[in-house]
Amino acid sequence: MHALPFWRLAGYYFAYFAFIGAFSPYFTLYLKSLAFSAWDIGLLMSQMQLMRLFGPNLWGWLVDRYGHRLFIIRLAAVASLLGFLAFFWLDRLSGMLLAMAVLAFFWSAALPLVEMLTFDHLREERGRYSRIRLWGSVGFIVAVMATGAVLDVVPPVGVLWVCVLILLGILGFALALPEAAPRAHLPIEQSIRRILRQPRVQALMAACLMMSAAHGGFYVFYSIHLDAHGYSKTEVGVLWSLGVLAEIGVFMAMHRLVWRFSLRHLLLASFAAAVLRFMLMGWGVGSLATMVFAQLLHGLTFGAFHAASIAAVNLWFPGKAQGRGQALYSSLSFGAGGLLGALISGWSWDRLGAGWTFTIGALCALFGWLLIYRWLVGDPAVDLPKREQIADPVQ
């Protein structure tokens, strides 16, 4: 009988997302302390999204062609650590761009391969995935809260030491992960080109790109925005954590939500919430209560949006095409959309100010809402809730 290495997998997720919890909110504050401009900060942070455009596909192709999945996971951990260590000696844009590109290129390799490994270990117990993945959210919350508390008493360079410790933890868990026999793939039932010619698929992918672009200013400048208005690092950490808690709550309730609401309506609600959220974030930063409410909307703008989008992709990319459909979704949304949002916000932050930067994000979300409203119609699997898709046994 196959023994599931639950805690080794959960530990890897904990450490992986703990790094994001320490890096994403606070590394921008460190860059600001080095007197980098908003454009430079946006350019540096955009490397994470740029590498997600092609990095996962390249690493996935290498694994499919040559195997050695665990070796690449461990190589990614070592190379990410070495790339990050360079930040201790670098303070110029050109050098930091190179180090960030190295970090992002190898960093992008790890999670998709660990996801594959996890499902191969789960085999027929795929329902247990959420219990393992949950530890990633726990790691994020612990790291974002702890790092905020640390940076309230030490200079911004302290974030480098926190991130290095977490990267060492990732390496340790990567070395502890056991290999699993890969699952057999189903045959491709439709060609990718035929699927991508469908207007509804094109509209969904474009809308997902817009949603990630809408979040660009948030992921790059939210901590700087709060810091500039007098919020402590601990308060910054609490606000980031609220968003993740809201996301977890939506994920846990998603099976009930799709029973009552269609995927289309969940997506429309998510994009509408994003319009409201980023308008509040841009113009209501002086009110703590407003910021708390805006962060709770993350449950819709990421949690419900991501879950509904993944479900639609699974429906429209059948069989083995699902893998490539999910890769395309990730590349276009988190890759291209995140890159676009980071670059736009980096350009607009100093020129137009925080309020208008977040307003641009709200306009991106509005455009995504229009795409969903116009084109995601006519498919009962997406346009109807689960309760209406199941025939009444009495009739």
Q: Helix 321-330 to helix 38-66 angle, to the nearest 10 degrees?
A: 170
* Domains recognised in the chain with CATH numbers: 1-180 (1.20.1250.20), 189-388 (1.20.1250.20)
Reported as a single tens digit per residue, the pLDDT across 254-289 is 888 888 999 999 999 999 999 999 999 999 999 999
The answer to whether residue 117 scores a pLDDT higher than 90 is: no
- The predicted structure's pLDDT at residue 358: 98
- The predicted structure's pLDDT at residue 247: 87
Give the residue ranges of DSSP H helices in 297-337.
298, 305-316, 321-330
Angle at alpha carbon of residue 320, lines to 184 and 300, rounded to 5° = 115
- The predicted structure's pLDDT at residue 125: 64
- What is the residue whose two structure tokens read 């930091």? 96
More confident of the two residues 23 and 51: 23
Amino acid, res. 27:
F
- The predicted structure's pLDDT at residue 234: 93
Task: Using pLDDT thresholds of 50, 70 and 90, give the confidence band for residue 126.
Answer: low
The answer to whether residue 307 scores a pLDDT higher than 70 is: yes
Reported as a single tens digit per residue, the pLDDT across 146-184 is 999 999 999 999 999 999 999 999 999 999 998 877 655
Reported as a single tens digit per residue, the pLDDT across 79-108 is 999 999 999 999 899 999 999 999 998 887
Helix (H) or strand (E) holding 246: helix 233-260
Q: How buried is 380 (Cβ within 10 angstroms: 0-12 exposed, 13-18 middle, 19+ buried)?
A: exposed
| Cα–Cα distance, 197 to 195 (Å, whole number) | 5
| Cα–Cα distance, 119 to 130 (Å, whole number) | 11
Q: What are φ and ψ of residue 92, in 5° steps?
A: -110, 150
CA 119 to chain centre: 19
The answer to whether residue 227 scores a pLDDT higher than 80 is: yes
Residue 31 has, within 13 A of its CA and on its CB side, a CA count of 26
- The predicted structure's pLDDT at residue 320: 60
- The predicted structure's pLDDT at residue 2: 60
- The predicted structure's pLDDT at residue 127: 54
Q: By the 8 A CB rule, do 295 and 282 touch?
A: no
Phi-psi region of 180 (alpha: psi -120 to 50; beta: other; left: phi over 0): beta
Give the mean pLDDT of 35-56: 89
Average pLDDT, the chain: 88
Angle at alpha carbon of residue 293, lines to 287 and 299, rounded to 5° = 150
| Cα–Cα distance, 341 to 335 (Å, whole number) | 10
- The predicted structure's pLDDT at residue 393: 42
- The predicted structure's pLDDT at residue 189: 53
